Amino acid sequence: MDLQDAHDWFIDVLNEVSVQFHKVPGSAIFLRYVKSSYQNDPIRSAVELFLFLFAVKYLLAPKYSTSKKSYVKLTDEEIDELVDEWAPEPLVAPQTAFEEAEHEKRPVIVGPTGPKSKLLNGRTVTNVASYNFYNLAGNESLKEKAIQTLRTYGVGPCGPPGFYGTQDVHMRTESAIATHLGTTACIVYAQAFSTISSVIPAFSKRGDIIVADKAVNFAIRKGIQISRSSIRWYEHNDMEDLQNVLASVVKEQAKKPLTRRFIITEGLFENIGDMVNLTKVVELKHRYKFRLILDETWSFGVLGRTGAGVTEHQGVNVREVDMLVGSLAGPVCAGGGFCAGSNEIVEHQRLSASAYTFSAALPAMLATTATEVLSMLESNTEMLNQLRENIRIMWAQLDPRSEWVHCSSAMENPVMILVLKPEVVASRKLDIRDQEPLLQEMVDEALNNGVLVTRLKSMPRGINVTPKEVGWELQPALKVCITTGLTRKEIERTGTVIRHAITKIMKARR
C-alpha cells in the first residue's frame, strides 16, 4: 500500500466515522457547540478536551485499595510488652495532704440555709459563707409562691426550651428581667455557670478577637476556651492597659480581613471583689469599635437603686452594653442565668447557644421565684439600703481595724474578699501555697467561735502545668458574705470574731 492508498483509506474511515457519529442523537448540537466554542474561545475548548481525556483515563485506570496496611505488624509478645509499659495519665491530680485534711473538717449544714445554720454536729453557727444576701432563703411568701407553682407545673419541664420546654412562666421571667434592666429582650438559661460560657462561643468563633480582663471568673475562661477565638489579656481593671491592647489589636488587624471583636469583663469581679469602670470601658468600646460582653453575675440584684446592676449604679445606658449576662442563682436566690440585649442578640442564642439549645429548661418554680424577687427589689428599695448598711458595719469591724488583712472588694459589694496585706506577705515570705493553709486555720478558728466563714477558692492547677502556663493566678483570701438576716449587734460580733481569729493565727505563726 503506497502513500496515496493509505491517504484514501484514512479519508474513507473518517467519512464512515462522521456518518455514524451523525446518526447519534444530539450529535448535531454537540458539533455546533464545539465549532462556536472554538471560534469564540479556543483555549476553553482545549481545557475541556483535557478534562474529557483526564476523565476517560481516570475511569479506565486500574482499581487500587485505600485500606492497605502500611504499619509494622507486631508480635503478640511485643503487644503485651507495650501494654504492660503503658500507664494512663490520671484525669485529675491526686489530692494533697492539705486538701485531704480540709475535706475531713468540712462543716455540713443540716436543714435550710440561713443567717443561723445548724451543723451536722448539732451546733448552731452564724452563717456568713452563703450568698443569702437578703435572707430570701427563709422568705415565707416566696416559699408559698414556689409551692403553688410546683403543684401547677410540676418539678421541671423535662425538655429544652425549643422542644416543649418553654412555659408561660419562663416568658414572664424574661419579660420581667428585660423590663427591670431596660433592655428590649432577654433570654433565660437553666444554669448560671453555663450562661456566660455559652453566650461567648455563640457569638465569637475561631479567628475572632477577644480582649478580656486577666481576673475574669472561671465560667468566662471556659467560654473563651470553647470559642477558640484569639485572646488578648489586659491587666486587671487597668483602663490604660486596656486602651493600649485595643489600639494594638486595631493596628495589627488594619490590613487583615474584618473580624468580630469583643471586650469581656465583669461588673463586680468574683475573684477580687472590686468594680469595673464601666463608663471608661464603654468609651473605649466605641472609640475602637468593639462589642462589649458584661458579666453581672454578682452585681445584678446588688448594685443600683433597684438592683439593676452596674449600669444603673454608674449611670450608663444599658443599651451601650451589647450582651449583659447575669445570674438568678446568687442575690436573686432562685436559679439559672440570663442574657439581655437587643432582639437580634437574644434570638440568635435560641438556636446557637449550646446551654440553651441542649439543656432542659429552668424549673418553673425557680422562674417564678426570680420574677417575684425582681418585683420585691423594685417595690422595696429598703432591702438594698439595709444590705448596704450591714456591709458598712462589717467593713468597720474588719478592714481598717485589722493589721493583717485588707478588703479588696468594692464598698458596695456584699462579698468581702479579705487578702493578706502585701507587707505581711513580704515580711513573712509567704507564697500562694503558704497562704492557703494559713487562711484555712483562720476559717477553723472562726468556726470554733461560732462563725461559719469560707475561703476564696479556684480550680486546681492542671497536671504538669508550669507557672508560665498558669498566667494570672488567684490570690488566696477569706470570703465573708453579708446578709440582712443579722442585726447590727450580730454583725459587729461576727466581724469581731473573724478579726480575732485572724490575729490569733497570725501571731501564733510568728
Is the distance from CB of 403 to CB of 392 less than 8 angstroms?
no
N-terminal to C-terminal alpha carbon distance within the chain: 119
- Cβ–Cβ < 8 Å for 234, 241: yes
Does residue 178 carry a pLDDT above 90? yes
The DSSP H or E segment spanning 270 is none
Best CA proximity match to 229, nearest among 210, 212, 249, 251 = 210
pLDDT in tens, 282-308: 999 999 999 999 999 999 999 999 999
Average pLDDT, the chain: 89
Tell me, what DSSP letter sits at residue 362?
P
Closest listed residue to residue 499, CA positions, set 365, 401, 369, 352: 401
pLDDT (mean) for 478-501: 95
Q: Which residues, other chains included, contact 414 with Cβ-Cβ below 8 Å and sequence gap of 6+?
A: 133, 302, 331, 387, 390, 391, 481, 482, 483
Total length of the chain? 510
pLDDT at residue 433 in the model: 83
The pLDDT value given to residue 56:
85
162 falls in which pLDDT band (50, 70, 90)? confident
pLDDT confidence tier of residue 220, bands split at 50, 70 and 90: very high
Cβ–Cβ under 8 Å, residues 188 and 177: yes
Model pLDDT, residue 74: 86
pTM of the model: 0.80
Pairing assessment for the beta strands 454-456 and 451-452 based on DSSP bridges: unpaired
pLDDT at position 1: 55
Q: What is the mean pLDDT of residues 400-412?
A: 92
Judge whether residue 64 has pLDDT over 70: no
d(CA 415, CA 177) in angstroms, rounded, equals: 23
Listed residue (179, 67, 121) closest to 447, CA to CA: 121
146 close to 369: Cβ distance less than 8 angstroms: yes
The arithmetic mean of pLDDT across residues 30-42, rounded, is 67
DSSP 320: G
CA dihedral 278, 282, 288, 291 (to 10 degrees): 100
Rg (CA), the chain: 34
In the sheet that 337-341 helps form, which strands lie side by side, from edge to edge?
185-189, 337-341, 323-327, 291-295, 261-266, 209-213, 230-234
From 322-331, 406-415, 453-462, the region with the lowest mean pLDDT: 453-462
Question: How far apart, in whole angstroms, are the C-alpha atoms of residue 458 and residue 479?
Answer: 12
Q: Which DSSP letter does residue 274 get?
A: -
The residue among 268, 283, 261 whose CA lies nearest residue 216 is 268
Q: What would the pLDDT profile of 354-392 be if each residue is shown by its tens digit?
A: 999 999 999 999 999 999 999 999 999 899 999 999 999
**pLDDT of res. 321:** 96
Q: What is the mean pLDDT of the segment spanning 337-365? A: 94
Instruction: DSSP letter for 331, please.
Output: T
CA distance 352 to 419: 40
Question: CA 150, 156, 157, 158 torsion: positive or negative?
Answer: negative
DSSP at 430:
-
- Model pLDDT, residue 466: 55
Separation CA 288–CA 212 (nearest Å): 15
Q: Could you tell me if 410 and 274 are in contact, meaning their C-beta atoms sit under 8 angstroms apart?
A: yes
CA gap 302, 376 in Å, rounded: 13
- Give the closest residue to 89 by CA, choosing from 500, 429, 465: 465
Other CB atoms within a 10 A radius of the CB of residue 285 amount to: 22
pLDDT in tens, 137-161: 889 999 999 999 999 999 888 888 9
pLDDT exceeds cutoff 90 at 242: yes
CA distances from 151 to 140, 148, 157, 360, 368 (A): 17, 5, 13, 19, 13
CB burial of residue 242 (10 Å; 0-12, 13-18, 19+): buried
Q: What is the pLDDT of residue 50?
A: 83
Averaged pLDDT for residues 22-33: 74
Question: All 3 cell numbers of residue 369?
Answer: 421565684
CA dihedral 275, 204, 185, 325 (to 10 degrees): -30
Cell of 227: 470559642
CA-to-CA separations, 101 to 217, 434, 506, in angstroms, rounded: 26, 15, 20
pLDDT single digits (tens) 416-468 = 999 999 999 999 888 888 899 999 999 999 999 999 999 998 765 554 555 55
* Torsion on CA atoms 227, 337, 361, 149, rounded to nearest 10: 180
The more confident residue out of 69 and 481 is 481
**Distance of alpha carbon 121 from alpha carbon 119, whole angstroms:** 5
Percent over 70 (pLDDT), the chain: 93
Question: What's the confidence (pLDDT) of residue 5?
Answer: 74
Ranked by mean pLDDT, which of 18-32, 99-113, 380-394 comes out on top? 380-394
Bridge-based pairing state of the strands 323-327 and 291-295:
parallel
The pLDDT of residue 399 = 86
Which residues, including other chains, have CB under 8 Å from residue 431's CB and lie 6 or more apart?
Answer: none
